[in-house]
Amino acid sequence: MSQVIVIGSGVGSLASALRLRAKGHHVKVFEAGAEVGGKLGVHKSGGYRWDTGPSLFTMPHFVDELFQLFNENPRGHFNYQKQKVVCNYFWEDGTRFSSNASIEKFCSEAADTFGEPKEKIAKYLAKSALKYDLTASLFLEKSLHKLGTYTSAKAFKSVLQAGKLDISKNLNEVNEESFANPKLVQFFNRFATYNGSSPYKTPGIMSMIPTLEMQFGTFYPKGGMRTIVESLWKLGERNGIEFFFNEKATSIDYENNTICGVTTNKQGYSAEIVVSGIDAFYTYTSLLPKLKAPKKTLEQEKSSSAIIFYWGVKKAFPELDLHNIFFGANYKAEFDSIFETKTLPKDPTVYVNISSKADKDDAPEGSENWFVMINVPTNNGQNWGELVQKAKEAVLSKLSRNLGEDISKLIEKESVLDPVKIELNTSSHQGSLYGSASNNKFSAFLRHPNFSNQIKGLYFCGGSVHPGGGIPLCLKSGQIVADLIADA
């Protein structure tokens, strides 16, 4: 079998490495840092522990599949619990809503809270599930850049029902047509942020995203999000994958348009196959500087970035749960700031994740570890020192107002992540969280493919390429890469 080198050790890279190893290839993984994980990092201070990156975990069976490839029981190495409450929502007028994990209860409670007919809400969710069912096998499991993807029976079925996908409308238009209550419209508009896009620009097909929460559920990995990558790393080591830490790839090597290996800051390595799991932009600019880069693909509009405050809060708030959203009053203005004027929203929506609600060891007794995030534009040379301070003032004002307490007096530990640091830490171009945004109906087809048209043996995985960012999609990118290599 082939010698394979995987660059980077994010969740997409790990999925690629494991699937290729399961097929019998000899796999080496090179990580520039001291640990696996990519964006799935961890920070500890004063008895508090924070996951520094993605905090929402859906589709856990995609992780389980990787253990099962090696005939291992996932529960012996990686465990998680399903959440009864998906997320708590807060509006400035005092409206509060807890999104129940049960579809039946969600529809009933949403109907009571927002004054919408229960049947209308159930119909919306059923249509969301249909969109997912019609497209998942194509968009999530296959390369959109191979003709064979479009000749299957499933593809034909999807084409016949394309009118049900709402591709010609944006998400906000779909939601406004579905509901009269602006709060419920805002609730469903929020799902555009799951891939760093604007509900006023992303196509209506994205209304399928709620299915990931409503139909499949949300989960918390025992020990934190970090355990996802740590368990996969250990799985790889047990099964013969070689990991090289503090060894940065400096070039992808090829001759006669065919891969021949990788050079690192320490030495050169031969390989017939190379999988780049780092940002596609940096793959070309740093590792393939002489290769003609796909300019239009790399210059696509980037997804949103974030400012994140990691706060150790010396009080417990029973009205908060694992996931909490405090909505801004003018959602349209918020996304205009992020994607049009590239500025800080004046009244940002605030997301608060508190993993100590699920794992008491993440904070001292009587305290909570708050991961507080707002969506912001990518780094385009803004004064982030000034913007972070303004963001902190706006966030503290909103949280204190909604919770009836001066939060600033309760913070005893703090660290901050902004777009510049995100780019520095993860090599995500301009600090984007999800690579390219999905702000037009052709976005899915414009993402970088999982293979190179120029170099035989070169493949791509991770959040900057098809099918996109977020843990489930990155895991699926690993499957797509492994399938492409098997079919080559």
Q: Residue 166 falls within a domain, yes or no?
A: yes
What would the mean pLDDT of 248-267 be, rounded to a whole number?
98
| pLDDT 10s digits, 379-401 | 999 999 999 999 999 999 999 99
What would the mean pLDDT of 57-80 be, rounded to a whole number?
97
Rounded CA-CA distance 397/408 in Å is 9
In which band, very low, low, confident or very high, does the pLDDT at 155 lie, cut at 50, 70 and 90? Answer: very low
Q: Residue 43 falls within a domain, yes or no?
A: no
What end-to-end distance do the CA atoms of the chain give, in Å?
13
What is the reported pLDDT for 422? Answer: 97
Q: Residue 16 falls within a domain, yes or no?
A: no
Residue with tokens 């959203």: 325
Please provide the DSSP assignment of 116-179 as one string: --HHHHHHHHHHHHHHHHHHIIIIITS-TTSGGGGSSHHHHHHHHTGGGG-TTSBHHHHHHHH-
Is the per-residue pLDDT at 297 higher than 90? Answer: no
Q: Is there a cis peptide before residue 467, judged by omega within 30 degrees of 0?
A: yes
| pLDDT 10s digits, 309-321 | 999 999 999 999 9
In which band, very low, low, confident or very high, does the pLDDT at 235 lie, cut at 50, 70 and 90? Answer: very high
Q: Residue 150 falls within a domain, yes or no?
A: yes
Q: Residue 108 falls within a domain, yes or no?
A: yes
| Residues spanned by the domain of 161 | 102-216
Q: Residue 392 falls within a domain, yes or no?
A: no
As a dihedral over the C-alpha atoms of residue 40, residue 250, residue 435, residue 477, rounded to 10 degrees, the angle is -70
What proportion of the chain, given as a percentage, has pLDDT over 90? Answer: 86
What is the reported pLDDT for 143? Answer: 66
Q: List the one residue out of 157, 135, 137, 159 whose CA is nearest residue 208.
A: 135
Is the per-residue pLDDT at 156 higher than 50? Answer: no
| 217 HSE (CA, 13 A, CB side) | 12
CB neighbours (10 Å) of residue 216?
A: 15
What would the mean pLDDT of 259-288 be, rounded to a whole number?
98
| pLDDT 10s digits, 1-60 | 899 999 999 999 999 999 999 999 999 999 999 999 999 999 999 999 999 999 999 999
Q: Residue 107 falls within a domain, yes or no?
A: yes
Q: Residue 124 falls within a domain, yes or no?
A: yes
